C-alpha cells in the first residue's frame, strides 16, 4: 500500500472513530508501528490530526482549535520542566508578553512572590490565572475569542499589543525547524506572535522536544528572532543562529 493511500485510510478511520491507537491502526492496515507513526506525523504536520500518547485524534479542518483542557494535560512533565527553566529569567519590575499557549499558561501559574510585574497576554485563561496573583498587573488584549483555545486574536488584539513594549516575550509554537524557523498551524495566532516578537527586547521560545524539527503552515519567525529556546530535548548546532 502506498503511503498516501494508507494515510487517507487513517483519516477515514479517524473521521469515523475520532480517536484511535497505533495498535488499532496496525491491525486494521496490516502495517508496522514504525510505519503508522510516520504516517501520523505526516498527517499532524498537515494540521488534520493531533497525535496523542499511543495514538491520534481527528481534528475538524474547519475548527482546528484543540481544547485548552486537553493541551494542558499533554506532555505535562515536559511543560513543568520548561517552566522551571524559564522562571529565573523573570525579575521584579519587568514587563512581559505571554502568549495563550498551554506551556506559557503553566509559567503564569508560577509568577508568585514578585512585588511588581506587568503582563500583556492574549490568553483568556492566562489572564484569569494572573489576576489572582498579588504583584502582577495584567493587561488582556481582547479581540476575537477562539473558544477552545481560550485565546484572543484578530485585528483588535494585534493593535492592542502594538501599543506596548516588553522586556521579554514568552511564546510557544507548534513546530520549530532549523531551516524554516518557528511555525504554527493557526494564522491568527502566528500574526499576533510576530507582534510580540517585534516589540520585545528578548524572545524566549518554550518548546518541548516533540516540536523540534516540525514544520507547520504558518511561519512565525526565523530562528534569528529568538533570543533563547528552552526545551527538554537536544538542540543541535543548527538551532544556534
Please tell me the predicted confidence (pLDDT) of residue 49: 85
Q: Report the C-alpha gap between 203 and 225 in whole angstroms.
A: 7
Do 90 and 124 belong to one domain? yes
Cα 80–Cα 85–Cα 88 angle in degrees, nearest 5? 125
For 41-61, the pLDDT digits (tens) are 988 887 778 888 889 987 754
Range of the domain at 232: 70-239
CATH of the domain at 36: 1.10.10.10
Q: Which of 19, 43, 61 is the last residue of a domain?
A: 61
68-111 pLDDT, tens digit each: 655 665 667 889 999 999 999 999 999 999 999 999 999 999 99
What's the pLDDT score for residue 193? 98
Number of compact structural domains in the chain = 2
CATH number assigned to the domain comprising residue 219? 3.40.50.1360
* CA atoms within 13 A of residue 40's CA, in its CB half-sphere: 25
Q: How many CB atoms lie within 10 A of CB 76?
A: 11
**Within this chain, do residues 57 and 139 fall inside the same structural domain, yes or no?**
no
Q: Beta strand pairing status for 200-206 and 175-177?
A: unpaired
Instruction: Say whether both 112 and 202 belong to one domain.
Output: yes
Q: Are residues 152 and 224 part of one domain?
A: yes
Q: Are 110 and 133 in contact (CB under 8 A)?
A: no
Question: H or E segment at 28?
Answer: helix 22-29
Tens digits of per-residue pLDDT, 105-156?
Answer: 999 999 999 999 999 999 999 999 999 999 999 999 999 998 778 899 999 9
Amino acid at each position: 500500500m502506498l503511503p498516501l493511500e494508507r494515510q487517507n485510510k487513517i483519516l477515514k478511520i479517524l473521521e469515523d472513530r475520532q480517536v484511535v491507537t497505533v495498535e488499532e491502526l496496525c491491525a486494521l492496515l496490516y502495517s508496522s508501528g514504525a510505519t503508522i507513526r510516520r504516517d501520523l506525523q505526516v498527517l499532524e504536520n498537515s494540521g488534520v490530526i493531533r497525535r496523542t500518547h499511543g495514538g491520534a485524534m481527528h481534528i475538524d479542518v474547519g475548527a482546528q482549535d484543540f481544547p485548552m483542557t486537553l493541551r494542558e494535560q499533554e506532555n505535562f512533565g515536559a511543560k513543568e520542566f520548561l517552566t522551571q527553566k524559564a522562571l529565573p529569567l523573570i525579575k521584579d519590575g519587568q514587563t512581559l508578553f505571554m502568549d495563550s499557549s498551554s506551556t506559557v499558561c503553566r509559567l503564569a501559574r508560577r509568577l508568585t512572590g514578585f512585588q511588581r510585574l506587568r503582563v500583556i497576554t492574549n490568553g483568556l485563561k492566562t489572564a484569569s490565572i494572573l489576576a489572582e496573583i498579588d504583584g502582577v498587573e495584567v493587561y488582556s488584549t481582547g479581540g476575537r475569542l477562539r473558544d477552545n483555545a481560550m485565546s484572543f486574536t484578530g485585528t483588535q488584539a494585534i493593535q492592542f499589543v502594538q501599543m506596548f513594549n516588553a522586556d521579554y516575550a514568552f511564546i510557544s509554537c507548534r513546530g520549530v525547524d532549523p531551516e524554516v524557523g518557528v511555525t504554527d498551524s493557526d494564522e491568527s495566532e502566528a500574526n499576533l506572535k510576530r507582534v510580540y516578537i517585534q516589540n520585545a527586547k528578548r524572545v524566549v521560545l518554550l518548546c518541548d522536544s516533540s516540536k523540534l524539527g516540525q514544520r507547520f503552515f504558518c511561519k512565525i519567525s526565523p530562528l534569528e528572532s529568538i533570543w533563547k529556546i528552552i526545551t527538554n530535548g537536544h538542540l543541535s548546532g543548527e538551532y544556534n543562529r
